[in-house]
Structure 1
Amino acid sequence: MRAFTVTSHEASPELVETDRPEPGENQILVKIEACGLNFADLLMIKGTYQETPQLPFVLGMEVAGTVEKLGAGVENFVIGDRIAVFGGQGGLAEYGVYDASRAVKLPDQMDFVNAAAFQVAYGTSHLALDHRAHLKPGETLLVLGAAGGVGLTAVEIGKVMGATVVACARGEEKLAAAKAMGADHLIDASSQDIRAEMKALGGADVVYDPVGGDQFIAAFRACNPEARVLPIGFASGDVPQIKANHLLVKNITVMGLYWGGYLAFNPKALTDSLATLMDWFCEGKIKPHVSHVLPLEQAAEGLDLLAKRKSTGKVVITM
């Protein structure tokens, strides 16, 4: 089979021929149809992600496909089941082996491209806004990086949860994508003062931040009393430092969210969240925004789109 493989943190990944894997106990072999790209893939190439696998490894955190073969002990799936899997790696290949516990069956209404774009982005935003921040109807949600893979889902989910959503992104094209997902107000991070604009709108009750850096600081300063701030990632490359005395003045809570980490200590939170999201999809409340669909041969181009901020929503690679 073909697999897009990282062999060195100092070199670009390459599409190589390798042996098809075999499932072990409680594992399934998946014929992969589509793989969603994530910013974390870029960090893994450099070796800076918190869960970078040992070299060599195949990139691709989330996939959709069909069950090709069952390992011993697998009872919840049959050959031919359409599934999605968050595997953390191995997705940019024609086949992959995964623990059956990480797979979910797809509803008939969901195709493979949408499924590959679904788990990480929607799962992150829903767990952050619902499980962590307890976003309430009528509150004001500020979403930074609002046209990115997770940002757009935060806009969409915020609206489903009844919030007033302020989307912050760079440029008219990206703001248009956020508006199409239901954003009530738009802030252009390339030309407008985030703090001043948010103050004029009454301040933020919840801040969803996959960007970090100066935007985090500006949003933090625009928070209302008892606001909740969610650091999701640091696409700017700048991890902001928070002064504890600033937290207590307005009784602000800062709560981190690493979606994949829940697999280790509270997997039920993930499965419950995904079940809710699948229901919302089937009810037409949410729909993944995929700006680019590329073949496996163009996986490097797909990653470049992420690195250069040229995509909106998700980039999906098909096999």
Structure 2
Amino acid sequence: MTAYRWFPGAQTLTKAEVAVPEPAADEVLVKILAAGMCHSDMLYYDTSFQHTKTKPFIMGHEGAGEIIALGESVPSTYPDFHLNQYVVIHARNPCLLSTCPVCSIDADNLCARYFPCGLGIDGSYAPYMVVHARAIVPVNATKDEIPPPLAAVSTDAVLTSYHAMKDLRAGETVLVMGIGGLGINAVQIAKNVKGAQIVIAADLRDEMLQEALEVGADYAVKPEDLGSLLYNHGLNVDTAYDFVGVGSTFKSVLEHIRPRGTVIIVGLGATCVELPLVPVTRKEVTVKSSLWGTKKELEEVLVILKDKKIRPLIETRHFVHALEAFEDLKNSRLKGRVVMVL
């Protein structure tokens, strides 16, 4: 089969012919129907990112498809799994063991026992993918209710935003910095799922500000206009989400958060950002980080999508155009999430 892999020293995805994998006893073979592309893929092409991989692997950590083969022990361990079942892949790939210090406290998004699928081990940029059965989540909807491209992005682009907003309280005023593949979902989750009173979207691109307004943002401005917006409308930002994660965006959310407000960093646009201690201390600001999402939260996200509470911004391209799509992602030429369909 044709797959798109990471190779050591390569500057972009590498197209390769590899054997169709066979599932081990505790694995399933999934026929991939849609695979989303994420900016996290770029970490493996960033020389400052420290990792231990030396062998090629198939990329892609947003996958949706159908089970077409079950490992010999799967039917007894997961009796609800069956052939042709519509599923998504929780590519965080946690161990889910009761003895795990993070999985045992419902923080399996932090489990580092195994590499994530597509970010260290073979992922979904291929027609077929083997996955440990523990990482499979049934969609429990038809393909008309949740089309495969939408199911694919649920596993990260929606899940990551949903997890970041898990503690958001109804009635808050929220700032979403960065209206991309995740930020556009965050606007809708804050407004339609969490009950935020006011949602402010900030981005440098006029077209994305318009998209934010169309999906429910109350205000949409460029970062340099945030101060005047808050002043003119008498607004105080309770919680701010940085979906970019670079020095300028982090500085902006710190500047505009209210005293004793909360800033949550989601984007990983830079390896580090500066924390100005005096301004932050004067406000007693809480700064938190957020990573991906749990398997249980992924199940909840699928229900939200089935109920049409959010509408992710998706661009679909055929699998054969993966290299071009990857270059567009790398060079910031995309409005939302690009999804390859097979």
- Report how many aligned residue pairs link the two structures: 302
Residue 260 of structure 2 corresponds to: 226
Shift of 1:313: 2.2
Give me the identity figure in percent: 29
Shift of 1:52: 7.2
CA distance in 2, matches of 1:51, 1:129: 28
User: Does 1:62 find its partner at 2:37?
Assistant: no
Residue 109 of structure 2 corresponds to: none
Shift of 1:283: 1.8
Decide whether aligned partners of structure 1 residues 119 and 245 sit closer, same or farther in structure 2, where only a CA change above 3 A counts.
same
CA distance in 2, matches of 1:298, 1:3: 12
User: Does 1:256 find its partner at 2:286?
Assistant: no
User: Does 1:171 find its partner at 2:205?
Assistant: yes
Decide whether aligned partners of structure 1 residues 54 and 196 sit closer, same or farther in structure 2, where only a CA change above 3 A counts.
farther
Instruction: Tell me the secondary structure at the aligned position of residue 9 of structure 2.
Output: coil
CA distance in 2, matches of 1:220, 1:200: 19
Shift of 1:310: 2.1
> Superposition RMSD on alpha carbons, in Å?
1.9
Decide whether aligned partners of structure 1 residues 51 and 151 sit closer, same or farther in structure 2, where only a CA change above 3 A counts.
farther
Decide whether aligned partners of structure 1 residues 22 and 139 sit closer, same or farther in structure 2, where only a CA change above 3 A counts.
same
Residue 126 of structure 1 corresponds to: 162
CA contact (8 A) 1:44 1:52 kept: no
Task: In structure 1, give the amino acid aligned to 2:330.
Answer: A
Instruction: Tell me the secondary structure at the aligned position of residue 272 of structure 2.
Output: coil
With 48-57 and 88-97 compared, the bigger mean Cα shift is at 48-57
CA distance in 2, matches of 1:67, 1:215: 41
Task: In structure 2, give the amino acid aligned to 1:301.
Answer: E
Q: How does 1:132-281 map to 2 (within 5 A)?
A: 134-146=167-179, 148-160=180-192, 161-163=194-196, 164-189=198-223, 192-201=224-233, 202-211=235-244, 212-235=246-269, 237=270, 239-259=272-292, 270-281=294-305
Decide whether aligned partners of structure 1 residues 54 and 197 sit closer, same or farther in structure 2, where only a CA change above 3 A counts.
farther
Instruction: Tell me the secondary structure at the aligned position of residue 165 of structure 2.
Output: helix
CA contact (8 A) 1:33 1:65 kept: yes
Shift of 1:194: 3.3
User: Does 1:84 find its partner at 2:117?
Assistant: no
Decide whether aligned partners of structure 1 residues 52 and 209 sit closer, same or farther in structure 2, where only a CA change above 3 A counts.
farther
Task: In structure 1, give the amino acid aligned to 2:86.
Answer: R
TM-score when normalising by structure 2: 0.83
Instruction: Tell me the secondary structure at the aligned position of residue 4 of structure 1.
Output: strand
After TM superposition, where is structure 1 displaced by more than 6 Å over at least 4 residues in a row? none
Task: In structure 2, give the amino acid aligned to 1:171.
Answer: R
Task: In structure 2, give the amino acid aligned to 1:143.
Answer: V
Instruction: Tell me the secondary structure at the aligned position of residue 124 of structure 2.
Output: coil
Task: In structure 1, give the amino acid aligned to 2:341.
Answer: T
Instruction: Tell me the secondary structure at the aligned position of residue 83 of structure 1.
Output: strand
Can you give the 5+ residue segments of structure 2 that lack an aligned partner in the other structure? 92-116
Shift of 1:57: 1.1
CA contact (8 A) 1:206 1:227 kept: yes
TM-score when normalising by structure 1: 0.88
Shift of 1:50: 6.3
Shift of 1:275: 2.5
Task: In structure 2, give the amino acid aligned to 1:26.
Answer: D
Task: In structure 2, give the amino acid aligned to 1:29.
Answer: L
Residue 34 of structure 1 corresponds to: 34
